[in-house]
Amino acid sequence: EQDLFSYQSCSEASVFVVKTKMDLAQQADLSFVKQPIYPISIKTGEGLDHLKNAISEFLLGDYLTESDSVMLVEQRHYDSLLSARRCLENVRLSLDIGQSLEFLAFDIRDSLQYLGYISGETTTDSVLAGIFSKFCIGK
């Protein structure tokens, strides 16, 4: 009953169903599960590589559904993403034509800098001025 309740509670989320203790004779009934089941045994290590690969494929793949989306609320974030994309496209083109690694490094560094503007790792005086102009900071 607890397995069914947990499963139903996650009906709106991406789910990995992991069936543990495969090395034991007694097994839980998971016939209600509609997703793939990943049987594993921590004791023997059986199934762990299959589960790791499935998780990696999910994280690296296109796992957003059509209804999922990303919304940017700041124009500077949008501009930074476009600039980062442009830099990464330059990297791909440089790889295609066999350009030296120095040119690739410049574009990769620039793309990371643009992404840093969004995450807050990279700031410029103009970005800071724009941010603080929208807030009233008191004592």
SS3 101: helix
Residues 59-114 have pLDDT tens digits of 777 655 555 556 667 888 889 999 999 999 999 898 889 888 888 888 998 998 89
For tokens 């807030």, name the residue. Answer: 135
Is residue 125 within 8 A of residue 134, CB to CB? The reply is no
> What would the two tokens of residue 46 be?
């059986």
Q: What is the mean pLDDT of residues 28-34?
A: 80
Q: In the prediction, which pLDDT does 139 show?
A: 42
Residues 120-139 have pLDDT tens digits of 776 656 555 665 565 554 44
